[in-house]
């Protein structure tokens, strides 16, 4: 049995990388679906884990539409999203509280 209870996706929403935040999220999801684990009978698919997303670099957000599109996409997937800045600390207390609640939550049957 895997000890991982929840995955936190940290997604750069600034334009600095030149990448699309929605596509970045989907790339990681596809990679998690392909991950085979350790190959033993106890390996669980990471793609089935509960998830939280953190939209990072909101202090450098030059196009608010990037965050809006990510919010819409994740809402459809029922993945909670927290806007944060690791540089300034904005939004980190709320993210940490959500992470704690997910880790403390009983597993779904």
- How far, rounded to the nearest angstrom, does the alpha carbon of residue 31 sit from its chain's CA centroid? 13
What are the tens digits of pLDDT across the range 10-36?
999 999 888 999 999 999 999 988 886
Extents of the domains making up the chain = 6-104
Render each residue's pLDDT in the chain as its tens digit; 109 residues.
Answer: 567 889 999 999 999 888 999 999 999 999 988 886 665 544 567 888 899 999 999 999 999 999 999 999 999 999 999 999 999 999 999 999 999 999 998 766 5
Answer CATH for 6-104 from 2.40.160.60, 3.40.50.740, 1.10.150.120, 3.40.50.300:
3.40.50.300
The pLDDT of residue 41? 45
Burial class (CB in 10 A: 0-12, 13-18, 19+), 54: buried
Determine the number of helices (DSSP H) and then strands (DSSP E) in the chain: 3, 3
Edge-first strand order for the sheet with 50-56 is 6-12, 50-56, 81-83
- Secondary structure class of 82 (helix, strand, coil): strand
- Quick one: what percent of the chain has pLDDT higher than 90? 71
């Amino acid at each position: 049995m895997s000890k991982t209870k929840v995955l936190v996706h940290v997604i750069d929403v600034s334009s600095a990388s030149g990448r699309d935040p929605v596509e970045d999220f989907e790339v990681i999801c596809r990679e998690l679906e392909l991950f085979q684990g350790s190959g033993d009978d106890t390996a669980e698919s990471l793609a089935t884990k509960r998830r939280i997303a953190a939209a990072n670099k909101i202090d450098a957000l030059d196009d608010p539409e990037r965050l809006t599109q990510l919010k819409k996409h994740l809402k459809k997937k029922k993945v909670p999203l927290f806007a944060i800045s690791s540089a300034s600390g904005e939004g980190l207390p709320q993210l940490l509280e959500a992470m704690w609640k997910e880790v403390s939550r009983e597993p779904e049957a």
